[in-house]
């Protein structure tokens, strides 16, 4: 782990973080899968790094004990692939073994098993390009600039900005400030105080927006919430989507039914505009215009005519479409 000083692109010591996690058992399963299932315990004896300004890059040198393995196990079945598999298990760019000997320290918790002490050079696969107080704490990840940014997830990136956090794998914060992505394969494009707490979700911009369900999207705006799968807030403020595959837009729109669309353009005085049923569209506005004609006024005019000479219920259902004079709009009274 190291902090960017703005001088050059270089490799951060995310590898040390990984080695400590392996020793604590948090990442041991991946190493067992990549190297050998016989490994029962791993002990980190030492780690140090060195910076080569001519390349530039930072390499590390580590000494570890693999409990459950022996030199014979490595010679017989693992020799041709152990460095590659160690790199995978350590989430490092590459690993080169410099020495290995039978461990005689008795450091393993089980004293009746074989153990081998391995020393190796490694290049972490994490990059910090510039900025200050940036930290990359896991494998194959990068911070390209900014300040006080943190990447913990594997294969993740913070492009810039300040105070951004990415803990999900394969995720991105492109910029802005105080944005966070905790879900895997998710994105915050920019803005401030946005949070994606789900997988395969995105917030493109704005402020204080939340995507808390998988496959959710917020295009922008302020204090919008998507808490259903495949839900979308197109834009605006104080909108909420809670129905599956539903969409909200405007201000105080509430799409809680599945496959519903709510367009709320009434403003604060109108209050909340909510969906009424599944597979429905609700539009809240003072007026609705089509081809420069106010559909609402046409409807009010036709309704007033009908009320003055109310037809029977039978006649009501067989009325032809009524034409609003001087407007290219057809309105059917029901």
Domains and CATH numbers, the chain: 10-128 (3.30.2000), 290-331 (no CATH)
Q: Are 273 and 260 in contact (CB under 8 A)?
A: no
Listed in order, strand segments (DSSP E) in 10-84 are: 10-12, 41-52, 57-67
What angle (nearest 5°) sits at the alpha carbon of residue 201, between those of residues 197 and 205?
90
Collect all residues with Cβ–Cβ distance below 8 Å to 144 and sequence separation of at least 6.
127, 129, 130, 157, 158, 159, 160
Give the pLDDT means over successive 10-residue stretches in the chain (334 positions): 42 59 74 84 81 55 88 80 77 81 83 88 74 74 88 89 95 97 97 97 98 97 97 96 97 96 81 94 87 76 61 42 45 40
Structure tokens given for 157: 């990136």
Supply the pLDDT for residue 152.
85
pLDDT value at residue 314: 38
Smallest CA-to-CA distance from 333 within 322, 325, 114, 110 is with: 322
Instruction: Return left, alpha or beta for 275; rule: phi > 0 is left, psi -120 to 50 is alpha, else beta.
Output: beta
pTM over cut 0.75: no
Q: Which of 84, 79, 95, 78 is nearest to 15 (CA)?
A: 95
């Amino acid at each position: 782990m190291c902090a960017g000083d703005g001088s050059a692109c270089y490799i951060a010591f995310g590898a040390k973080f990984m080695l400590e996690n392996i020793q604590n058992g948090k990442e041991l399963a991946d190493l067992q899968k990549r190297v050998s299932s016989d490994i029962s315990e791993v002990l980190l004896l030492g780690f140090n790094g060195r910076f080569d300004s001519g390349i530039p890059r930072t390499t590390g040198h580590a000494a570890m004990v693999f409990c459950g393995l022996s030199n014979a196990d490595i010679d017989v079945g693992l020799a041709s692939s152990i460095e590659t598999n160690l790199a995978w298990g350590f989430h490092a760019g590459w690993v080169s073994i410099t020495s290995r000997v039978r461990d005689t320290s008795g450091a393993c918790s089980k004293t009746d098993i074989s153990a081998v002490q391995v020393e190796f050079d490694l290049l972490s696969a994490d990059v910090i390009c510039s900025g200050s107080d940036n930290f990359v704490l896991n494998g194959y990840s990068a911070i390209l600039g900014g300040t006080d940014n943190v990447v913990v997830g594997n294969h993740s990136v913070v492009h810039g900005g300040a105070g951004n956090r990415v803990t999900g794998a394969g995720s991105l914060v492109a910029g802005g400030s105080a944005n966070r992505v905790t879900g895997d394969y998710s994105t915050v494009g920019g803005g401030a105080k946005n949070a994606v707490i789900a997988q395969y979700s995105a917030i493109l911009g704005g402020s204080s927006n939340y995507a808390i369900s998988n496959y959710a999207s917020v295009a922008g705006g302020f204090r919008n919430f998507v808490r259903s799968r495949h839900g979308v807030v197109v834009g605006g403020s104080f909108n909420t989507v809670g129905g599956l595959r539903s969409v909200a837009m405007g201000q105080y729109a509430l799409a809680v039914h599945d496959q519903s669309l709510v367009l709320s353009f009434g403003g604060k005085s109108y209050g909340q505009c909510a969906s009424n049923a599944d597979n429905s569209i609700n539009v809240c506005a003072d007026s609705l215009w089509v081809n420069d004609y106010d559909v609402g006024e046409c409807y009010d005019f036709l309704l007033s005519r009908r009320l003055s000479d109310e037809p029977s219920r039978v006649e009501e259902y067989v009325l032809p479409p009524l034409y609003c004079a001087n407007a290219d709009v057809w309105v059917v009274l029901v």
